Amino acid sequence: MNTPERQSPTEPLDIQQKTDAIRSGARPVERDYPYIPPDYRVPFLHIGTERQLFLDNFILDHLEGVRRDVCVPAKTAEPLLAWSDLPWEQVQFNPGTAGVVHDPDDGLFKMWYWQGLTGHAFNEGQVLCYAESRDALRWEKPLRDDCLPFEGHKATNIVHPDVSQSGLALNHDRSDPDRKYLLVNWPPKAARVRPPGSPRLSRVDASPDGIRWQTISEESAFPHHHEQKIFWDGSIRRWVGFSQYSHHQNFLYRKRQIGRQESADFINWSPKEVALSADWDANLPPDLEMHDMSARKVGGLYIGITSEFMAEPFWQERDGHNWRDQAFSRLGLYTSRDGRRWQRVGGPGPWVDTGDPGDQDYGFACFTPAGTLVHDGRMVIPYSANPQKQSWLHPGPPTPLYPREEFARRQQEWRARAAIQGESGVRRAVNGLILREDGWARLVPAYESGRVLTKQFVFEGDSLRVNADCRYGYVRVELLDPCFQPYDGFSAQQCDPLIGAADQIWHTVRWQGGGDLRTLWDRPVRIRFQVHEASLYSFQFLNSENDVE
């Protein structure tokens, strides 16, 4: 066959439209097969050139002498962004990321973070600042004359005067250069002057360079809440945003949960739906609440990092409603195949826990941005780190806390400790998590050797690459027919073993005799990996003619 059967890049959207047409009666149900699959000519799973991870079982069929390990990231030894004695950092240094991108135009990694100027508990006087890096690990706060001035200082890294609970994204559509960057934002100053009872404000700004911002929409009909984390999902042709679906907006619900919204234009957003709740998983403790979640997509797999708010038993009373607002926070890992139904990965414990006493993140590990920064085979995930938990013990609660006697007892203990230990001068920071590229999960032999068998699929492309750690051992790859026999020229015996140094991430698979993968287009294929003292992380078919990755 001269060309492979192409996988539709909008397959989930196509299936949804097909489903809607069948349900409405506009399209008949196939009586011999009354299901709603993709319309493939070859009736097998079609992976095209999408990268395949092993964090779920989507591509896996059988593991023989192999276990799956969910990888735990390393924490950077030093913060990515720390207090640097700038004049606008004196009152409060509380950076939290609004967005991070790898700019395709200049190759720089860029971060926008909020910074309080007043110390106000509810974000009034908060601005947006800018930082950049060449390797996603060493960040600078460039002081520029075209940024906003602060008091007598003309050169700053302040780029927006009024932000809170904001989400920033790189626009996939570059037809309008003035809208390269997009920001959804709740501006506290603007919201404060609105009439009482007004709905929560969601304003949208745009920028050509991430420095100069212009409002393009004053208000969304369906506002966001609590750090909207936004990414472009090309498979459904929509912006997707995750933010807190909370008691602050709907008092029917007791817990903080994760809400999902989508938009075709970044301005008009859908009503928020619950996408993830601790109430759905009996393996989670009842004091765990979902504070916020960032998402990224690899192939067809959505990966979510959730801030898990471990609430203490104090209920605040506001306008007759109770909720818990004192807690420490850790990070949990979740996956989804449709962006709507999420499953926890790795058991009931945290993916990333808070640090030890004295560590920068002893109290709070929270607020990861959407997407992932990748440089030289390494993923870097920024997160907000606070050495103290979220607490009203020091200033006293802004509203009554119940049970009052228990709160008073803990507040007295806190003051006694403070009298002995003194006040910690450590400020909040943006820390980093480091993983191998695609290193969310690995398949590794239980002892020495094992085999991994995938499901049957159809692919595109003319080469195959594997992400594997082969510094101590090797991997062989064979391609099997429906009878589990190797296709001619693609047996394990004919495969050149994948070996490499510790820092080698990707390995191109080659078979002796130069087997041509194009001969297997539109034929059902399974991969069998033979793994000897090595680890597997992902694989991907590529089309070298179009340089697709």
Bridge partners of 386, per DSSP, are 364
**pLDDT reported for residue 405:** 92
Can you list the positions of beta strands (E) in 186-300? 203-207, 214-217, 229-233, 238-245, 257-263, 273-276, 288-298
- Residue matched to tokens 């793994």: 531
What averages of pLDDT result for each successive group of 10 residues across the chain (549 residues)? 86 93 94 89 93 98 98 97 94 90 97 89 86 98 97 96 93 96 90 70 93 93 82 96 77 77 94 91 92 96 97 80 85 96 92 94 95 96 94 80 90 88 75 98 98 97 97 97 97 96 92 91 96 98 69
Determine the 3-state secondary structure of 341 from DSSP: coil
Phi then psi for residue 365, to 5 deg, are -120, 115
Phi then psi for residue 265, to 5 deg, are -130, 5
Phi then psi for residue 216, to 5 deg, are -115, -10
Q: How many CA atoms lie within 13 A of 10 on its CB side?
A: 10
Amino acid at 63: L
**pLDDT reported for residue 50:** 96
Of residues 306, 308, 307, 303, the one with CA closest to residue 286:
308
Inter-residue contact 240 to 339 (CB < 8 Å): yes
Amino acid at 90: Q
The first and second tokens of residue 87, run together, are 């004049």
Amino acid at 181: Y
**pLDDT reported for residue 307:** 96
Hey, what domains does the chain have and what are their CATH numbers? 11-71+442-542 (2.60.120.260), 74-436 (2.115.10.20)
Instruction: Output the pTM of the full model.
Output: 0.95
Angstrom CA distances, 9 to 12, 300, 370, 547, stand at 8, 10, 21, 17
**pLDDT reported for residue 549:** 42
Phi then psi for residue 420, to 5 deg, are -85, -45
Of residues 210, 44, 39, 52, the one with CA closest to residue 131:
210
**pLDDT reported for residue 254:** 62
DSSP symbol at 343: E
The span from the CA of 525 to the CA of 44, in Å, is 9
The first and second tokens of residue 62, run together, are 């059988």
Q: Kindly report whether the peptide bond that precedes residue 357 is cis, defined as omega within 30 degrees of 0.
A: no
